[in-house]
Amino acid sequence: MTITAIPPLDRTSATFRDEVDTMFSTRIPTFTTEINALATDLTSKQGLASNAAIATHDDAIATGGDRLQTGLDRVQTGKDRAAAAASAATIGTTAAFSDANPIAKNAADNTKQVKLDLSAITPGTTPVYAAPNKSGTLALLDDTGVRLIGGPYTPTAAANLDFASIFTGEFDWIECHMHDILPSANSEVLMMRFFVGGVINTAAVYGVANDGSNGALTASGISIANQVSNATGSYPYIGVSSRIAIRNINSATRIKSGDASSIFTGTAGISGGVYAERKNFGFTGGAITGVRFYWASGATFLPQGTIRFYGFKKA
């Protein structure tokens, strides 16, 4: 910015008075205006320079922070490598990781990790899990709403097959699937009772009815299949195969209801005939935690066949 020079005054000049008047009326105000404009310009440029210096300082701080984070990431990577090496050294070179350690972490947030628990594997075995040739999302059995909660079990040579606390409040509908179950004697009746709080209920609070009929809740057990035998006629007998549904198991006051559909070779089927039987039942003895199967005569089970329990989740 240019400052207009103020010329000197000549006291001997004939126009001295006029020059003084011009000095105070024009030149000094002009000089003042120019000086103020210069001051404003300097202040503005000083502010710009200061802001630039601050920005440069902030950039330097940010760069330092980025370098620090990079250093921390390198330290974490070194720790991950050390953990992997320590894990491999602990269990040998044939397995890369111990299941005590996570096997993977999220790239953006390393606090998100996953572990693989191998504790349920039989000692001395190495299961192989094959990845399918496609992408997708892993799902859990619980996500389906129905789950195998027990079995397969094979009966022992005992008079009672007890599953006292196999049901939990997570499920309100239970299905039992049994296959090829036989007694140690002939012409037997397969019975069922329920456990309440882990204690078998033998009171007269059971009822059985065929389709289209009504049955009082005054029995001490539920008959699943009648006239089951293990004898051999023209063909070997097949054991009882049943699907037993038990509903509303968690209610302490309402009736627990269900149905059983069975197929087997009965006493009248020695020549190879097949006998089918369906029963509907009810129970008023409290919330059910388990089930007992037994033969009405007290006969024992043959050690064959399978029993499975499935639970249907309430939500």
**Domains in the chain with CATH codes:** 16-121 (no CATH), 144-313 (2.60.120)
Average pLDDT, the chain: 82
**Three-state SS at 152:** strand
d(CA 119, CA 136) in angstroms, rounded, equals: 26
Question: What's residue 284's pLDDT?
Answer: 93
What per-residue string of b and e applies to 153-182 under the rule 16 or more CB within 10 Å gives b? eebeeeebbebbebbeeebbbbbbbbbbbb
Phi, psi of 165 (to 5 degrees): -135, 40
Confidence of residue 80 (pLDDT cuts 50, 70, 90): low
pLDDT tens, position by position, 155-210: 999 999 999 999 988 899 999 999 999 999 888 899 999 999 999 999 999 999 88
226-251 confidence digits (pLDDT tens): 888 876 555 566 789 999 999 999 99
Cβ atoms 144, 306 nearer than 8 A: no
CA atoms within 13 A on the CB side of 3: 15
pLDDT-derived band at 55, boundaries 50, 70, 90: low
| Half-sphere exposure at residue 41, Cβ-oriented, CA atoms within 13 angstroms | 9
Instruction: Tell me the CA distances in angstroms from 112 to 27, 74, 135, 137, 271, one per residue in order.
Output: 77, 18, 21, 17, 65
Per DSSP, 266 falls in state: B
pLDDT tops 50 at residue 269: no
Residue 66: pLDDT band (50, 70, 90) is confident
Residue 146 in this model has a pLDDT that exceeds 80: yes
Q: What is the pLDDT of residue 56?
A: 72
**pLDDT, mean of residues 119-129:** 90
Considering only CA atoms, which of 220, 157, 155 is closest in space to residue 185? 157
Task: Give the chain's largest Cα–Cα span.
Answer: 158
Residues 2-48: pLDDT tens digits? Answer: 777 777 767 777 777 777 677 667 767 777 776 777 778 777 777 77
